[in-house]
Amino acid sequence: MAGLTSSTIGRKYAMALSAMFLLIFLILHLTTNLLSVLNKDAFNTASDFMGYNPFVQFLMQPILGFAVIFHFVMGFVLEIKNNKARPVKYESNNPSMNSSWMSRNMIISGAVVLAFLALHLYDFWLHEINYKYVEGISPDAERFWPELHEKFADLWRVALYVISFVLLGLHLAHGFQSSFQSVGARHPKYTPVIKAVGKWYSILIPAGFIFIAIFHFITQ
């Protein structure tokens, strides 16, 4: 890990690997949450398994937490170092002609997504910690769907989730392709495929989460 983070190239490579891990997690997370729309019992069963399985709770969850923190820390570190490397802006520089707005403002969208994650952890993860380890309430496999449904009773919360997932989509639109480029996937044969997959990924994943939030709001 020290070798990966000791150089700019190494940091970009490590950040790309953490991004790929998070991309896979988003697919799994969306799949599980879509069950809350399709079948209450299936969602309760899946959530109960994820919530009490030792492998998920004590191995995969810490790994996920580390990946999230590492990814965002590396993003801020790379942004700071890039700014230091170019302390003087060229007078003739025209960023809009050379790159997209999203690629130039990944740090902003990343910060907003990080703030959203804090809200998300407060809504669900802290609740689980309190339920299982603070209050020590007996397991109830039927509680997960009602708890999720109740969270989206307020319009302001749904609006925050929608805005956050739109910004996540913008972040993914550039981050998906960038992560593959950082690990060397720049072959002319594969680049168009990566761009196409990244485009649809950045649309469908946020749209799926937005659909779930709106569904639970309108079915109160």
Select the more confidently predicted residue: 24 or 187: 24
Select the more confidently predicted residue: 88 or 32: 32
pLDDT surpasses 60 at 41: yes
Domain 8-83+106-219 has CATH 3.30.470.10: no
pLDDT surpasses 50 at 162: yes
**Res 101: pLDDT:** 65
**Res 202: pLDDT:** 96
pLDDT surpasses 70 at 172: yes
* pLDDT winner (highest mean) among 15-19, 29-33, 84-88, 107-111: 29-33
Question: Which band of pLDDT confidence, cut at 50, 70 and 90, is reported for residue 99?
Answer: low
Q: pTM of the entire structure?
A: 0.88
Distance in angstroms (rounded) separating the CA atoms of residues 106 and 174: 8
